[in-house]
A and B are shown apart, each in its own frame.
Chain A
Amino acid sequence: MTDQAIIDCRGVKKWFGDFQALRGVDLEVTKGEVVVIIGPSGSGKSTFIRCINRLEVHQEGQIFVDGIELTNDVRNIEAIRKDVGMVFQSFNLFPHLTIMQNITLAPIWVKKQSKSEAEAYGRELLERVGIPEQADKYPGQLSGGQQQRVAIARALAMKPQIMLFDEPTSALDPEMVKEVLDAMKELAKEGMTMIVVTHEMGFAREVADRVLFFDYGQLVEAGTPEHFFTNPQHDRTKLFLSQIL
């Protein structure tokens, strides 16, 4: 593990019953790096990033986040979750809370910030994702794109070092994809460490430092976007890219 590796995965394996979803994944991510994971559905890419904040439990191998190993130790899991923000495909905003309450819930209850402090930062975040006027509405009153931007703000409210994005634009109307991608690009520019599972090749090409191709629970190929989109090595990668580009 180099000094800079903020995420370090070694031989991560995971089974769902008989089905092996991850067949030994090794990955190091350095601070400030933007990693985009692509691959066919069922290839284990979502499962993999969900292992990083322990929404799924890996059964073999090791995962270190910021030097802390993910084990069954509740204290480690809590420490890592405070440091890792996540944005889901289906937003998963809390429908019974206002936008502001969605954002300030964790800072108040997990980080024990005062309400005023948390709200001030929440307002700043809403400003950054471009919807400051929606603070007192409920998630059901917002469009999909707006909801996903709130989800990003909610994750950022914990001031995480790492952000995980699990197909953040897949559930959006085409015309709303851009507003979410713009918010993510902004974040990448600011130096956030990001792992993004997506099918948006344009985003991968423009923003990624590294692109990973997953298939059949394995990391098949990794490289810079340039290498990846112009000169892929593996046949499987070539096939995948030929089908989607």
Chain B
Amino acid sequence: MTTAIQRPTRPPFYRDVTVLKWVFQIVFLIGIVTVFWLLGSFSIANLAKQNLAVSWDFMARPVGFQVAEGFTTLPESGFQALLVGITNMLRVTISGILAATILGVIIGVSRLSHNWLVNKLATVYIETIRNIPLLVQIVFWGIVVSIIPDIVVDETSDGSLKSLFGLRLLPEGWIFASPKGFAMPWLVPTDGRWQWVGFMIVGAVAALYAYRWRIRLQEAGTAEARAFLWSGGVLVAFAIVGTFAHPVMGIFGPVFGFVAAFFQNTPIIIFQIVLAGLAVGGAYYIIKKRLDELRTPAGLGKLTDDDWFRLAMAAVVASGLALFFLLQSGPVKAIVGQGTIFGQEIGLSQLFTGLESRFSFVSGAPFDFSLPAIDGRFNNYAADAGHVITRAYFALWIGVVLYTAAFIGEAVRAGVLAVPKGQTEAGFAVGLRRSQLLRMIVLPQAFRIILPPVGNQYLNLAKNTSLGIAVAYPDIVQVGQTIFNQTGQTIPIVISWMAWYSFVSLTLSAIVNRWNKKLKLVER
């Protein structure tokens, strides 16, 4: 017995979900582009009225100011000045993330401690630090450094310098503290450092293989792993041998020279075709991957409207990029080093020329031991002697580290507490020791809970370094501000800031997301 099936009639387009979705997506896209285009053209028009045409010329022109610290204090161009700001920002961010992680884990574990004093100290730390605005803390640390008594040059006797802490443990003159900051002995890198770093990259690869080898032996049951010890040992061995043997890496000099010449001399059209090919290939890869994911054993699964939109976007963006590369030789020339970006020659060819000259250089030790020194009438630290931590750097660094560590500590505590008690009991019941239980059961499970919030804290730390402006730390914000005070070019500077912070944040979160995905529990 069959009943007549009523064929569904196609609804009118204004009730059809498929049509509506497409219309909304496209309208939304057009809307966003329009808003930004309008905002941009209004501000350009307004600036033009004040005789301030938006221009990126300052990037190539010399700037008339000095930067307080960085890889150079006398930047040759606006671009280089921003670059100094960027490296200064990275310096605080990277060392800050490392320090905040270590301190945060210690604080978090202390809060779980059964030792009453340790526990309460950690609690007081967290509650104090979390509840005071970071800006206030950074200013506070700046003030703390500025009230350190200044260095007194003892001219009555032999003219030697009195250091503050060095009296007992260290020879006199090793560590200084003054309102200008701190100075300490340091291994100052010399010209041989590039070869040494190259040597250490080889060493890192060797250490990785040593690690895998030990794990394999352990799994085969022939030896205890001690994998960390082994790989660490390999790294140390390379570091020591590299101190003497680093000129070996000089053989890479000509190789880099060859690569530089290749980028310099190959006709630009070839790079244009390759880049266009990469764009198209990338889109092909993304589309294919997506289609493979949607494939069911029976064949290609049904694509939803969202899928279609996504695939169409990938194709459109890729063909746009490919066309851009094919039609515009300028940007491609800049990338490979046959042209300029903002008047700077900073393409791939120049990069490899730089590497060539650095690797071919044959020198003595990669590092020189150097003691700090005082320079001039105002008791400034000499720039190239020892390691100087300026007041601004210290205040910003300690501020963001202490602040971020408090939040990381809370995340660590929450993560460890979130591992069910049954896991510990089951671990004990099969006979694991407390240390094994922590390492193999509790921490791996706590870690996956801790990682997302801690990744967020890393992002916060990176962005919070911009508060260094309160103590005049010359990061990209402070340097940029100086530039637009001189040139009036606010829009290009703000665009540079936003581009840089977005780049850092997106990179960091991409790393964390990737890691997080890897750790995800497998469930149905």
Contacts and interface: CB of A to CB of B under 8 A. Distances in A.
Interface stretch (B260-268, B429-437, B508-516): B429-437
Contact of A85 (B219, B429, B432, B440): B429
Contacts of B429: 53, 55, 81, 84-86, 88, 155
Given A96-B444, A105-B440, A114-B220, A88 B431 contact: no
Nearest to A78: B431
A158 interface: yes
Contacts of B420: 92
Given A78-B431, A82-B431, A109 B522 contact: no
Interface in B426-468: 426-433, 436, 440-441, 444-445, 448
Interface string A121-141: 000000000000000011011
B423 interface: yes
Q: Is the interface of B mostly helix, strand, loop or mixed?
A: helix
Nearest to B436: A109
Interface residues of B, number: 27
* Residue among A82, A92, A155, A158 with most chain B CB within 10 A: A92
Given A90-B422, A105-B440, A114-B221, A81 B445 contact: no
B426 A93 contact: yes
B523 interface: yes
Contacts of B440: 105, 109
Given A55-B425, A88-B425, A110 B522 contact: no
A106 B219 CA distance: 14
* Residue among A94, A116, A151 with most chain B CB within 10 A: A94
Given A116-B220, A117-B221, A96 B521 contact: yes
B524 interface: yes
* Residue among A85, A96, A109, A155 with most chain B CB within 10 A: A96
B221 A95 contact: no
A14 interface: no
Interface residues of A, number: 34
A154 interface: yes
Interface string B485-524: 0000000000000000000000000000000000001111
B426 A141 contact: no
B221 A115 contact: yes
B520 to A, nearest CB: 10
A231 interface: no
B126 to A, nearest CB: 28
Interface in B186-237: 218-222
Interface string A156-169: 01100000000000
A116 B221 contact: yes
B423 A94 contact: yes
A115 B219 contact: yes
A20 interface: no
Contacts of A116: 220-221
Contacts of A81: 428-431
Contacts of A137: 522
Contacts of B427: 94
Nearest to B425: A55
A109 B432 contact: yes
A76 interface: no
Contacts of A92: 420, 422-423, 425-426
B431 A110 contact: yes
Contacts of A141: 522-524
A105 B222 CA distance: 17
A59 interface: no
A4 to B, nearest CB: 24
B423 A106 contact: no
A73 B524 CA distance: 43
A14 B300 CA distance: 64
Contacts of A85: 429-430
13 contacts: A78-B433, A85-B429, A86-B426, A86-B429, A88-B426, A92-B426, A95-B445, A96-B444, A105-B432, A106-B432, A113-B221, A116-B220, A140-B522
Interface of A: 53-55, 78, 81-82, 84-86, 88, 90, 92-96, 105-106, 109-110, 113-117, 137-138, 140-141, 151, 154-155, 157-158
Given A96-B448, A158-B430, 5 more contacts: A53-B428, A81-B429, A92-B423, A110-B433, A138-B523
**Which 6 residue pairs are nearest across A and B when measured between Cβ atoms?**
A114-B221, A140-B523, A92-B426, A106-B430, A138-B522, A92-B422
